[in-house]
Structure 1
Amino acid sequence: MSRTIWGLHMSTEHETVPVDQGYVTIGWHHMGDLSTLPADREAFKQRFREAYDDAKAGAIPVQAGVLYRFAYEMQQGDYVIYPSKIDRMVHIGQITSDYQYLPNAPYDCPNRREVKWLAHVPRTDFSQSALHEIGSALTLFTVTSHAEEFMAALAGEATGANDVDDESVEEVSTQVEESTEDFIIKRLKSKLTPYEFEKFVAHLLTRMGFFARVTSQSADGGIDIIAHKDELGFEPPIIKVQCKQTLESVGRPKVQELHGAIEQGEHGLFVTLGTYTSDARTFERGKPNLRLIDGPGLVDLIYNHYERFEPRYQMLLPLKRTYIPGPSISSAD
């Protein structure tokens, strides 16, 4: 019978103790002894709602599912993969016990299973796509796509992953970029009111070297921000900005409305979290004094000027500078 291969993440607070002492553990101590619940996912969801009444509705089935799998779906003999951030090793072992509840366990992690650790393999021995699979955002998950690669490492066989797979690296880099872009756009959509979003765009413009003021919330004539290069706003160019805190596609009529409010010698800027229709883009190309910024374009501007943001906006968008692999650069002959 084939055995399930589980991937599991543990907090760095545990250091190397789980590997040294032979176990894996997860938290959610307010759930109590999971073995007192029937092997029923709905029962786990209900207990989770009661134990964590401030949990978001969308998170309940995910977290309850993790706990259900740990208590009931994991079986003795199943394999477990633990990618440790402490020693940058991929630890591979085999489950040797049923579910255990240790109420006095450290770090509020009472849910435990004993493990016989069988191999400790450097991360660099695996392909980038395999590392991406075990980098799941979930605490507990099944490993399927690269199961053979991990089992080969357990058997001491070369995986052939020491050579860098450019395609896999590029795929992972793209996924990181897309995830960060999604995070920024979702925060700007969910954490700000439309008027606060206008203030955010105005702040971005000031960090780009403009003076910017947000217009009144009512009777603004479709102009949300007026930006200019001099402090008094007399010297051209004057930029009139419209902001749409929407994830939907903005069409040509809305863009034309902004352009109709632009007087001679002025410029128009339309900023949205979403996208623009092809008709809107066609209209933009015919108007040299009009610029359309979509969600990805806004994210790029945020990256370029983030270090000069006020602390409140850095708290809104907590980002850190890091490096990820990029496309190969060929040297000229």
Structure 2
Amino acid sequence: MSIWLVRAGSSGEYESKFLDDNRIYLTWKGFKKNVIKLKSPEALREALGTERPDAKDGAVINWASQIWAFGHKMKVGDWVALPSRKKASIHFGKIKGDYEFLPEGPNPYYHARSMDWFAQDIPRSNFDQDILYSFGAFMTICRISRNDAENRIKKMSKNDWKSTFTAPQTGVDALDAVEDSGNLDIERFAKDQIAKFLTARYSGHGMARLVEAILKSKGFMTYRSPEGPDKGVDLLAGPGALGFESPKICVQVKTGDTPVDRPTLDQLIGAMQNFGAESGLLVSWSGFKRSVDRELPSQFFRVRLWDQDALIEELLESYEKLDDEIKAELPFKRIWAIASSDS
């Protein structure tokens, strides 16, 4: 059994279709040739060169290696890891069918394999850092194999997606986990590093303190519930000098290692009514199940959801305005990097 990394677009634009259709697609826009009928990598490179005559040789070789893997190397029974670009989670599925050529499309859905998505929304924070490096390879399709990744991920699937790996990892070994692409999604890597740091420093009720600091930086007065039973609310927040202005917000912060389901959202909505709040903020470090995502349109004007990625983005955006005590606990540094793309 091999495990393949497959991405659903540079910004996750195809993710819902992959999951809803129980398929993975090869989403090279405009590439409308039956990959199975291209009998060699050289024939595939020639076809790609004809399609995109202005492309550099290195780019064509890179594209061809990924397309060839989708059509010829993937096997029924192999697993696929689909990192979400919408939340800090990873979906896992098993390939059920051979390569399909779909000439009617529509573009870019000309190439597909049927899937059984047996595990969705597994939090990224469940995985060891070297495995996260592999998930951060800056390619649309590649095999995940180094550092015994296949066996370790399979063991995690049998252990409620908790890591069973205890050997220490060095920076060199972890970096070596990136497949032969030689590229790494630096932004994703940075978020994973920040997430590990925040998990260690702000576990449990400490995460509510961090969310409170972000809200204060945005001009809210806050009340934070003491540790223990919180009657469905961890924070209350309101703008203005005394916190009496609108919107009045109820906040729940969940730091467990499983995604939050619909009942937790319902609990927050009930707390909003009990406390006379107009709006709600539900923060879940391990993300949300699709049952919660489906409620987003109906709750758009009342509730906001922050998963791990959203919380980190809010933290970085507010960093300069955080109070000195919190800022001293967060050794962050702004850097710039060149954006990369494989297609």
TM-score normalised by L of structure 1 = 0.47
Structure scoring higher RCO (CA < 8 A, sep ≥ 6) equals 2
Q: Which has the larger radius of gyration?
A: 1
